[in-house]
Amino acid sequence: MAHLTVKTYPSEVLNKIAAPVKTFDDGLKTLAADMFETMYSESGIGLAAPQVDRSIRLVVLDLAAGTEEQGSHQLVLVNPEIIERRGDVVWEEGCLSLPGILGKVKRSRYVKVSATDLDGNPFEVEGEELLAVALQHETDHLDGILFVQRVSPLQRKFLIREYTRKQNEERYGSPDGPTF
């Protein structure tokens, strides 16, 4: 397994609609395994292929990531599609592509998703609360949508500004960017 590089905002691949997976081979299985390794090492619970610069409709999830049960609840969705939604919930979300930023997002409390596994076999998964939020968040990535696009324009402006400030501080030691 290999650790992949997580693309961060404003990387172009994060804004593209990902292509459907048509080939179910060992390469796809290897990519999914590498995505799990990357997700775990980055302390995430979900990762979409566009986040690792692969513009295909592939998602990995493990709500037990970071616990003793890590790896026992892995879920791989190829070409996922939300086919049913019910209720509302507001959840504070973060994203590996916007590290250090959290925002409250209104989502459906329950979703049903149709997908295929790594061998191309169709299945459905139902989720409530955190699983529903994670399924929606990762499916959004496949459609070129980041969670900050699901908040109010004012909150989005604040979150992007905060993200930029943190990135500048990390890169240059100053929230205002480089000094000359």
With beta carbons less than 8 A apart as the criterion, state whether 106 and 93 touch.
no
Q: What is the mean pLDDT of the chain?
A: 95
pLDDT beyond 90 at 4:
yes
Record the pTM: 0.93
Q: What is the CATH number of the domain that holds 117?
A: 3.90.45.10
- Residue 97 resides in a domain: yes
Q: Write the pLDDT tens digit of every residue in 133-147.
A: 999 999 999 999 999
- Residue 58 resides in a domain: yes
Confidence class of residue 171 from pLDDT cuts 50, 70 and 90?
confident
Pick the more confident residue, 46 or 2.
46
- Residue 180 resides in a domain: no
Question: In the 8-state DSSP scheme, what is residue 32?
Answer: H
User: 115: domain range?
Assistant: 12-172
Q: How far is CA 20 from CA 36, 74, 75, in A?
A: 20, 21, 18
Quote the number of domains for the chain: 1
With beta carbons less than 8 A apart as the criterion, state whether 153 and 141 touch.
no
- What tokens does 100 get? 């250090």
Mean pLDDT of 5-34: 97
Q: Which residues belong to the active site?
A: 138
- Residue 96 resides in a domain: yes
Residue where the block lists tokens 């791989």: 76
- Residue 67 resides in a domain: yes
- What does the alpha-carbon distance between residue 22 and residue 7 come to, in Å, rounded to a whole number? 23
- What does the alpha-carbon distance between residue 32 and residue 45 come to, in Å, rounded to a whole number? 14
- Residue 4 resides in a domain: no
Q: Write the pLDDT tens digit of every residue in 79-129.
A: 999 999 999 999 999 999 999 999 999 999 999 999 999 999 999 999 999
Task: Please give the share of the chain, as a percent, with pLDDT higher than 70.
Answer: 97
